């Protein structure tokens, strides 16, 4: 992609104020982000799905993105064919902002057919983002790796048309690890385009039928995740153990920010498990967001 002078490639590291705060604390957080455009602090939500989307799926992705962008949400996706492109286009058509997370250096755009769409994203105040420096080609494993960034940047992940082998399932699983809600639009039981979507629903993802459902659930259940209750119990136990060990291994009081950095766990889970450990009288709060072992 030919760069315009007003959209140069820039970079920020985890300690920079521009680095998206939520992304600092995800498992395997990127140390450096390269970006073109604006890293706004407005609320963000991801829309993902299959590259081989049906016309109905693309229309739905466009509609959902349009409506959410009209409500000042930044739409996050991966600039791939199918659902991703429809979501970016929907946000652009609403004159809203959208962020595209790429799996290669920002000196190019893949697929090349989306160069005009990428330029439109920048022109409307959006952003192209990557953890890879210029000159990095789009190796297959990098497309899976970037999914954790798509979810990590977002308050929730919306899945539209996900077959069993869809990369959007990896984004949903990354969201689960990060404590981020996953919303799924269902489809016909016989359609192969929805086999992955329906598996997510079977494991506890939130079924939604409209933008209203999504906004209502985010407002009333801000820590929804698609992990089933039994998995939650196992996960909470392991995470509580990790938080306790992190505090125990320090001879001096440890801050919440340090716990987040050392464990790589999401903010909601760490907060929940700190409260649990305090109730169990295993740790004490010795200052604002400062913890130590109980005497």
End-to-end CA distance of the chain: 60
What is the pLDDT at residue 159? Answer: 97
Beta bridge partners of 34: 11, 130
Predicted TM-score of the model (pTM): 0.75
**Average pLDDT across the chain, whole number:** 87
104 and 76 in contact (C-beta within 8 Å)? Answer: no
How far is residue 12's CA from residue 219's CA, in Å, rounded to a whole number? Answer: 31
* 279 — pLDDT class (breaks 50, 70, 90): confident
CA angle 214, 219, 220 (to 5 degrees): 100
Distances (CA, A) of 98 to 61, 172, 175, 286: 13, 19, 19, 42
Residue range 43-98, pLDDT digits in tens? 999 999 999 999 999 999 999 999 999 999 999 999 999 999 999 999 999 999 99
Whether the per-residue pLDDT at 129 is higher than 80: the answer is yes
What is the pLDDT at residue 56? Answer: 97
* Six-digit token string for 275: 């409260």
Delineate the domains of the chain, giving CATH numbers in brackets. 10-220 (3.40.50.450), 229-293 (1.10.10.10)
Whether the per-residue pLDDT at 229 is higher than 50: the answer is no
Higher pLDDT, 234 or 144: 144
């Amino acid at each position: 992609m030919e760069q315009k002078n007003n959209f140069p490639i820039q970079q920020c590291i985890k300690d920079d104020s521009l680095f998206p705060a939520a992304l600092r604390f995800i498992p395997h957080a990127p140390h450096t982000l390269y970006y073109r455009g604006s890293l706004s602090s407005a609320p963000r939500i991801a829309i993902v799905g299959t590259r081989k989307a049906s016309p109905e799926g693309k229309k739905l992705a466009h509609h959902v993105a349009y409506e959410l962008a009209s409500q000042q949400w930044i739409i996050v996706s991966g600039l791939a064919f199918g659902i991703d492109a429809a979501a970016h286009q929907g946000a652009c058509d609403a004159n809203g902002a959208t962020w595209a997370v790429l799996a290669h250096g920002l000196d190019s755009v893949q697929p090349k057919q989306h160069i005009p769409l990428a330029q439109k994203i920048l022109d409307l105040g959006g952003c192209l983002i990557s953890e890879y420096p210029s000159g990095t080609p789009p190796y297959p494993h990098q497309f899976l790796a970037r999914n954790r960034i798509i979810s990590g940047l977002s308050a929730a992940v919306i899945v539209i048309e996900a077959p069993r082998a869809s990369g959007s399932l990896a984004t949903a699983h990354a969201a689960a690890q990060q404590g981020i809600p996953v919303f799924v639009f269902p489809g016909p039981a016989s359609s192969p385009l929805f086999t992955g979507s329906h598996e997510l629903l079977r494991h506890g993802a939130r079924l939604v039928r409209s933008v209203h459902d999504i906004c209502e659930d985010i407002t009333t259940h801000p820590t929804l995740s698609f992990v089933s209750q039994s998995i939650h119990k196992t996960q909470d136990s392991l995470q509580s153990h990790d938080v306790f060990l992190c505090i125990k291994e320090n001879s001096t009081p440890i801050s919440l920010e340090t716990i987040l950095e050392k464990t790589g766990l999401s903010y909601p889970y760490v907060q929940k498990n700190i409260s649990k450990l305090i109730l169990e009288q295993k740790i004490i709060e010795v200052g604002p967001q400062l913890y130590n072992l109980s005497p």
